[in-house]
C-alpha cells in the first residue's frame, strides 16, 4: 500500500486527537476483559464505533448498546455488541480521527468520507472484505449494490479489493419547477398543454411574466422567480432555489467533477453550458423576471416571499413540499402547486448522478469474525426490510417503528437502498392508495404513513391538514413526475468521475466556491458582462482549480 502524503495527515489527526482525548475518555465505555477478545463464553463480541442521535426516542431502559436491534443481533447472529465509543456529528468525527491516528480501531465503525477510508487502507488498518462479501452477502444485498452499475462498490474498493461496505443513496433528480397551480387556473394560463410535465424556458418565462403583471397573490409587490445567491449545489438534494434545471438545458452540471468531450477532467461550474445558463439569468434580471433583489436576500427572505404570496415559482427537489412549500398552505388553504421540469431541445431532462455512497462501514484488520459485518447487513437491510409481517416476525422492531425510534439505534447508522428505491416507494404508496395492495404489504413505515396521508388528502382536499397536503404534493406530484419521466425514458443521466476530496480541494475549495458565488452574482446582475465568465474561469484555474484537477487525475490514474 502507498504511504506517501498520508502520514502528513495522520500527524494532523494526531494533533486533533490530543486536543479531544479528554472528551473521548468521557464518552468511551470501559469494556469488560471479555470484550478485549473476539468472544465471551463462546459468544462473539463486536466492539463498535457508533454514530448516535441527540433524541433517539428509545423506550425507557433501552440504550444504544442494549436495544431491540442489538438484542436481535445477539439472538440471530450470536454476537454481542459492545460500544467502543459513541458520538454525534463532530464529536464522532473526532473519535474516528483518534482511532485512525492511534491505529487502535474498534472491530467495526462508520467512516464518513472516502479520504478517511483511503487512510485506513494505506495504513493497512482494515480488513479486506472481498471474499466474505462474495460468500455471505444475500442475493438481495448484492442486487442493491448491483443497481448502481458498480459505482458504489467501486467507491469502497482499492486495487480491485472490497475494503468497506458502502452506504447507498438513491438518485433524487431532477431539479423541479414548482408553480402555483391555483394561480395558473385563476389567470387562465396554459402551461404544459400536452401534459408531459416537461416545459420550455419560454413557457416558464411567460408564466413568470403573467404572475408579475397580474399579481395573483394580491400583494402589490409580486416577484417572478427568486433564486438563492449561491445558485448551485453539488447535490440534487440541495437543489432548492437554484439554477440546476436551467443549467441542465445546456448539458451543464455546476459543481460536479466531470470528463469533457476530450477525455479531460473539468468542473461543471467552468463549462460553456454554465456560461449559457448564466446568460439566461442575466437576461431575466434585466427584464425583471428574476427577483430584482437577487444576490442580497437570505434563505429566510426568499421563503417569506413564497409564504406571503409574492411569488408562485420555486425550484427544488421532489420533497420541497414537506419542508418548504408547506408554509404556503398554512397561510392559504387554496394554495396548490404543480411540479414540472425543463426539457432541452431534444425533449430530454439532463441530470447528474449524485454520490452513491458518502459513508462506509469498515472492519478492523485481523478481527476474527469479519463475516459478521455482512450478516448484519443481511439481517437489517434484507430480512427486516423485506419482512411481510414485521409485527409477527420482529415484534420489538415493529414497536420501535410505531414509536418512531431513530434509525441510528441500529448497529450500522447507514442506509443501504437500491438506486431506484424512490420509485419502489412510490410504487408501493400508489399501490396502496389505488387499492392494489394492502397497506400491511408496505415494509417501510414512512411509505405507509405517506399512503395514509394521501388517502386522507384525496378524500377532502379543502379540509385536509397541512401534513397530508405536503405528502400528497411530494409523493403524488414530486415522486410521480420522476416515475413518469423514468418510464418514458426522458432522463439523460451523466455520471461524474469523482466525488471525493483532495489536499488542495480541502485547502482552497471554500475560496473557489466564494469566487464562483461572487462572480456569478456580478454576471447575473449586470455588474459584469457575460464574457466576464471567461475571466472567472481563468481565476478559478489559477487559484487552485488546476491543482485540484491534477490531483483528481492522479487519484483516478492510481485506481485504474
First to last CA, the chain: 15
Task: Identify the H or E element spanning 130.
Answer: helix 130-136
CA distances from 47 to 28, 39, 274, 410 (A): 11, 11, 49, 14
User: pTM to 2 decimals?
Assistant: 0.78
Reading the block at residue 93, the C-alpha cell is 468525527
Cα R_g (the chain), whole angstroms: 25
Q: Is the pLDDT of residue 26 over 70?
A: no
Please state, as a whole number, how many other Cβ atoms lie within 10 Å of the Cβ of residue 150: 11
Across 206-226, average pLDDT:
98
Pairing of strands 43-51, 39-40: antiparallel
> Per-residue DSSP letters for 59-112?
PTT--SSSSHHHHHHHHHH-EEEEEEEEE-THHHHHHHHHHHHHT---SEEEE-
Beta-bridge partner residues of 110: 361
Where do the H-state alpha helices sit in 188-271? 201-214, 244-249
User: Of 38-47, 476-485, 522-531, which gets the smallest average pLDDT?
Assistant: 38-47
**Residue 100 in contact with residue 47, Cβ under 8 Å?**
no
| Range 80-114 burial, b when 16+ CB lie within 10 A, else e | bbbbbbbbbeebbbbbbbbbbbeeebbbbbbbbbb
Task: Identify the H or E element spanning 258.
Answer: strand 257-259
Rounded-to-integer distance, Cα 560 and Cα 12, Å: 29
Rounded-to-integer distance, Cα 470 and Cα 466, Å: 6
**Residue 48 in contact with residue 106, Cβ under 8 Å?**
yes
The predicted-structure confidence for 39-65, as pLDDT tens digits, reads as follows 666 789 999 999 998 889 899 999 999
Which residue in the block uniquely carries the three cell numbers 485512525?
100
Rounded-to-integer distance, Cα 278 and Cα 274, Å: 6
**Residue 182 in contact with residue 336, Cβ under 8 Å?**
yes
Rounded-to-integer distance, Cα 176 and Cα 317, Å: 6
Q: What is the dihedral of CA 154, 155, 158, 164, to 10 degrees?
A: -110
Across 281-294, average pLDDT:
98
pLDDT band at 34 (very low <50, low <70, confident <90, very high): very low
Rounded-to-integer distance, Cα 145 and Cα 164, Å: 13
Residue 227 vs residue 445, higher pLDDT: 227
The CA-based diameter of the chain, rounded to the nearest angstrom, is: 78
Predicted local distance difference test score (pLDDT) of residue 420: 86
The predicted-structure confidence for 243-267, as pLDDT tens digits, reads as follows 999 999 999 999 999 999 999 999 9
Reading the block at residue 357, the C-alpha cell is 455512497
Predicted local distance difference test score (pLDDT) of residue 15: 35
Beta-bridge partner residues of 440: none
The predicted-structure confidence for 347-380, as pLDDT tens digits, reads as follows 999 999 888 887 999 999 999 999 999 999 999 9
Q: Is the pLDDT of residue 76 over 60?
A: yes
- What residues contact residue 163 under an 8 Å CB cut-off, 6+ apart? 117, 120, 121, 126, 127, 128, 129, 156, 157, 362
Predicted local distance difference test score (pLDDT) of residue 234: 76
The predicted-structure confidence for 484-513, as pLDDT tens digits, reads as follows 999 999 999 999 999 888 899 989 999 999
Rounded-to-integer distance, Cα 233 and Cα 517, Å: 11
Which residue in the block uniquely carries the three cell numbers 447507514?
414
Q: What is the dihedral of CA 8, 12, 15, 19, to 10 degrees?
A: -170
Q: Is the pLDDT of residue 1 over 90?
A: no
Rounded-to-integer distance, Cα 446 and Cα 483, Å: 18
Predicted local distance difference test score (pLDDT) of residue 151: 83
Predicted local distance difference test score (pLDDT) of residue 37: 47
Amino acid at each position: 500500500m502507498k504511504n506517501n502524503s498520508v502520514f502528513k495527515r495522520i500527524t494532523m489527526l494526531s494533533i486533533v486527537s490530543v486536543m479531544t482525548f479528554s472528551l473521548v475518555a468521557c464518552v468511551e465505555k470501559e469494556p469488560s476483559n471479555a470484550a478485549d477478545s473476539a468472544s465471551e463464553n463462546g459468544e462473539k463480541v463486536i466492539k463498535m464505533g457508533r454514530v448516535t442521535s441527540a433524541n433517539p426516542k428509545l423506550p425507557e431502559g433501552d440504550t444504544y448498546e442494549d436495544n431491540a436491534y442489538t438484542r436481535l443481533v445477539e439472538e440471530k447472529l450470536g454476537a454481542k455488541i459492545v460500544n467502543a465509543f459513541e458520538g454525534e456529528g463532530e464529536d464522532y468525527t473526532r473519535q474516528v480521527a483518534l482511532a485512525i491516528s492511534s491505529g487502535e480501531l474498534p472491530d467495526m465503525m462508520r467512516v464518513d468520507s472516502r479520504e478517511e477510508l483511503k487512510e485506513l487502507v494505506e495504513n493497512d488498518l482494515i480488513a479486506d472484505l472481498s471474499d466474505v462479501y462474495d460468500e455471505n452477502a444475500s442475493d438481495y444485498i448484492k442486487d442493491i449494490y448491483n443497481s448502481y452499475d458498480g459505482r458504489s462498490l467501486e467507491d469502497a474498493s482499492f486495487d480491485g479489493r472490497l475494503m468497506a461496505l458502502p452506504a447507498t443513496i438513491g438518485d433524487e433528480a431532477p431539479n423541479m419547477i414548482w408553480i402555483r397551480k391555483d394561480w395558473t387556473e385563476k389567470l387562465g394560463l396554459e402551461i404544459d398543454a400536452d401534459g408531459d410535465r416537461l416545459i420550455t424556458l419560454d413557457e416558464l418565462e411567460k408564466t413568470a411574466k403573467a404572475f408579475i403583471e397580474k399579481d395573483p397573490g394580491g400583494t402589490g409587490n409580486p416577484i417572478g422567480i427568486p433564486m438563492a445567491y449561491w445558485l448551485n449545489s453539488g447535490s440534487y438534494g440541495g437543489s432548492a432555489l437554484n439554477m440546476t434545471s436551467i443549467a441542465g438545458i445546456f448539458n451543464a452540471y455546476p459543481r460536479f467533477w466531470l470528463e469533457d468531450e476530450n477525455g479531460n477532467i473539468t468542473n461543471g461550474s467552468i463549462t460553456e453550458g454554465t456560461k449559457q445558463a448564466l446568460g439566461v439569468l442575466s437576461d431575466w434580471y434585466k427584464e425583471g423576471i428574476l427577483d430584482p433583489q437577487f444576490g442580497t436576500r437570505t434563505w429566510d427572505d426568499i421563503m417569506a416571499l413564497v409564504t406571503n404570496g409574492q411569488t408562485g415559482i420555486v425550484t427544488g427537489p421532489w420533497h420541497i413540499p414537506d419542508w418548504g412549500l408547506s408554509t404556503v398552505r398554512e397561510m392559504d388553504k387554496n394554495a396548490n402547486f404543480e411540479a414540472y421540469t425543463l426539457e432541452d431541445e431534444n425533449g430530454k431532462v439532463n441530470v447528474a448522478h449524485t454520490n452513491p455512497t458518502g459513508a462506509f462501514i469498515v472492519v478492523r484488520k485481523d478481527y476474527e469474525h469479519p463475516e459478521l459485518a455482512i450478516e448484519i447487513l443481511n439481517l437489517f437491510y434484507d430480512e427486516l426490510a423485506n419482512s411481510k409481517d414485521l409485527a409477527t416476525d420482529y415484534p420489538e422492531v415493529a414497536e420501535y417503528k410505531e414509536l418512531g425510534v431513530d434509525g441510528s439505534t441500529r448497529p450500522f447508522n447507514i442506509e443501504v437502498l437500491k438506486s431506484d428505491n424512490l420509485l419502489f416507494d412510490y410504487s408501493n404508496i400508489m399501490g396502496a392508495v389505488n387499492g392494489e395492495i394492502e397497506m400491511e404489504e408496505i415494509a417501510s413505515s414512512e411509505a405507509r404513513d405517506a399512503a395514509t396521508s394521501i388517502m386522507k388528502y384525496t378524500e377532502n382536499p379543502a379540509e385536509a391538514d397541512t401534513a397530508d397536503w405536503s405528502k400528497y404534493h411530494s409523493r403524488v406530484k414530486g415522486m410521480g413526475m420522476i416515475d413518469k419521466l423514468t418510464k418514458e425514458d426522458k432522463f439523460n443521466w451523466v455520471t461524474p468521475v469523482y466525488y471525493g476530496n483532495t489536499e488542495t480541494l480541502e485547502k482552497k475549495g471554500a475560496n473557489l466556491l466564494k469566487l464562483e458565488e461572487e462572480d456569478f452574482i456580478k454576471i447575473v446582475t449586470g455588474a459584469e458582462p457575460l464574457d466576464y465568465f471567461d475571466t472567472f474561469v481563468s481565476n478559478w484555474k489559477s487559484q487552485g482549480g488546476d491543482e485540484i484537477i491534477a490531483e483528481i487525475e492522479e487519484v483516478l490514474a492510481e485506481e485504474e
